[in-house]
Structure 1
Amino acid sequence: MPLVTLTVRKPKPADFKTAVLDAVHRALVASGVPATDLFQRVLELDADDFRFDPSYPDLQRPRTDDFVLVEVLWSVGRSVKVKKKLLEGLMTELAGRGFDTENVMVCFKETSWENWAFGGGRLIHAS
């Protein structure tokens, strides 16, 4: 169950956030995540609360106020090949929608299966 968190600077219109979230979800599904496994949130912060270096570490163009941090929290076990496929699909889709992909940073965070309680306090992946 991926939990996707999108962090952006205020203000961003709904269509901006929707375009990024939809692109992330399509890339996740293409990498093997079930289409109904949809858990997303958006953190929209003031510039004082969301700081970033415009060029670290090796960007082709400086980041702008449209910088997007995408965090994907999911269970352990995805290979580097799967992550690369997801990134390729995501960047292709965002570029096709007019996004500058140099403004998109993705961070994968992994946790054990037994750390997910999807509802009712049930640990369905724990013995």
Structure 2
Amino acid sequence: MPLLKFHLYKGRSADEVSLLLDAAHKAMVHSFNVPKADRYQIVSEYQYPYLQALDTGLGIPRTEKFVLVEVVSRPRGRQAKVDFYHNLCVALDKTCGIQASDVMISFVENSDEDWSFGCGRAQFLTGEL
């Protein structure tokens, strides 16, 4: 945990998606200090016009490499989130050639009772995690 959901335009190869997911996982582990084996990622791909992401009037250019990342997580501190924004953009640029202007990130926070990792138990509540 956290659960990272990636919304991408169609057209990337499986290798490109794997590199993107690996880079994002490393940024998440570094920013939130979670175990390396704590990896939950979902990729959804869209053709235009089924994904549209304008710049909210900020003058941010978007390309076909655009990535929208939804982070579903327990509450994280402000600085950890800011660090993640930065670390993810650096990692995606370095690893995948995705510029920071093509990365949008949104957090959806929930609480410990909102997670079951399997076996019909709430592991955060039972103390297993």
State TM-score, norm by structure 1: 0.88
Could you tell me which residue of structure 1 aligns to residue 43 of structure 2? 42
Could you tell me which residue of structure 2 aligns to residue 25 of structure 1? 25
The AA in structure 1 aligned to 2:19 is: A
Equivalences, count: 124
CA contact (8 A) 1:117 1:124 kept: yes
Deviation of 1:52 after TM superposition, in Å, equals 2.0
Deviation of 1:95 after TM superposition, in Å, equals 2.0
Q: Alpha-carbon deviations, 1:60-92, whole Å to 9, x = none?
A: 4x201211101111112x111111111221111
CA contact (8 A) 1:59 1:102 kept: no
Percent identity among equivalent residues? 35
Q: Is residue 2:82 matched to residue 1:84?
A: yes
4+ residue stretches of structure 1 with deviation over 6 A?
none
The AA in structure 2 aligned to 1:17 is: V
State TM-score, norm by structure 2: 0.87
Q: Which stretches in structure 1 are left out of the alignment for 5+ residues?
A: none
Aligned to 2:113, the other structure's residue is in SS state helix
Deviation of 1:123 after TM superposition, in Å, equals 1.1
